[in-house]
Amino acid sequence: MFVLVLTLETLFIILGKFKDFNSWIYGLEAVVLCAYCIFFFLKTLRVEEYVNNVSRSLLIVTGLLIYESCCFFIFLFYANLVMTNPGFAVSLWNVHNIVYIVMCLYISRAFFEMHKYEPIRS
């Protein structure tokens, strides 16, 4: 699957223009990252042991899934939306910025949790 995605993204990069926002590449990236996040959640659910504390990787993957799933349609239709209704496209990008901040908060919490459970060395 990973090789197929790399081949498709390479094809989109070669055929697309570098100056323009390529909605197909960002849309494909969002789909692939959402699939990987869902596979991670399914793998986590299959673990038999119960863990009481929050995992750092779970926080990072949750933030990434929230960002990619919310911004998928923005990425997919942004190039066409800029040509048809630029004012709405600019205001819609504020949604992307808010979701990006939420993702950064999840990732920063994961880094905070990393130092919280480290043993003290003298």
- pLDDT at position 8: 59
Per-residue pLDDT tens digits for 90-105 = 898 899 999 999 999 9
Rounded Cα distance, 102 and 96, in Å: 10
Beta-carbon contacts of 79 under 8 Å, excluding residues fewer than 6 positions away, are: 20, 21, 22, 23
Residues 17-34, mean pLDDT to the nearest whole number: 75
Determine the longest span between alpha carbons in the chain, in angstroms. Answer: 63
Q: Which pLDDT band, with edges at 50, 70 and 90, does 108 fall under?
A: very high
How far apart, in Å, are the Cα atoms of 4 and each of 38, 65, 91? 19, 21, 34
Per-residue pLDDT tens digits for 26-82 = 788 888 889 999 999 898 888 877 766 668 888 999 999 999 999 898 888 888 888
- Going from N- to C-terminal start, the domains of the chain cover 2-116
User: Which of the pair, 49 or 5, is modelled with greater confidence?
Assistant: 49
User: Which of the pair, 115 or 97, is modelled with greater confidence?
Assistant: 97
- pLDDT at position 120: 55
- pLDDT at position 12: 60
